[in-house]
Amino acid sequence: MLIDDIKKYNIILASQSPRRVELMHGLGLNFTQVKLSDVDESYPDDLHKNEIPVHVAQKKSDSYTKKFNDNDILITVDTIVWCNGEMFGKPKDKNDAFRMLKAISNNTHEVLTGVCLRSATKTREFVVTSTVHFKSLTTDEIDFYIDNYQPYDKAGAYGIQEWIGFIGLTKIEGSYFNVMGLPTQNLYQELENFISDNE
């Protein structure tokens, strides 16, 4: 399938993340960006870590109430950080951000992104995991990053493409773009499969 085949569809990205918008543009796709109403991002306690971002992505998809045309494809996404057996979402305040960054310091964590594709007739979900290794971060480095980059809209309290990633990242196993919030290669492949199944 050629990218021109995907471009025949009206792709709707339901995300306010500037990083996801940038990555969608990087895929060369035409899309419309929409803002969802506030979505309850809670989840059942018994969910496995892989199920959490998919569950929330599905809830975001369900909150989209506009009528679907035959060629519409809605994309909703959720990203979490999993460290030391705990789920890290977006930090509530500076103390919470510091706690998260201290936990990933000199440690390995996972970044999991759940994606939901939805059309008028079907839905498909998938999750992508990347393993991230960080060096030991000093208190001054963590404070500097929080004060200057205000990472309160980011799961795990950091953006890999920002200063903290430049000085702290030692290795990634898996997709770098997934750590940014959108597994671009997987999304492109899943869109191809999703469209092929429609035709």
Determine the 3-state secondary structure of 99 from DSSP: helix
Rounded Cα distance, 75 and 15, in Å = 8
How long, in residues, is the chain?
199
Select which of 78, 96, 140, 143 is catalytic: 78
Pair of tokens at residue 5 = 């085949």
197 catalytic? Reply is: no
**Alpha-helical regions (H) of the chain:** 3-7, 18-26, 51-62, 94-104, 139-149, 163-168, 176-180, 184-198
Active site residues: 78
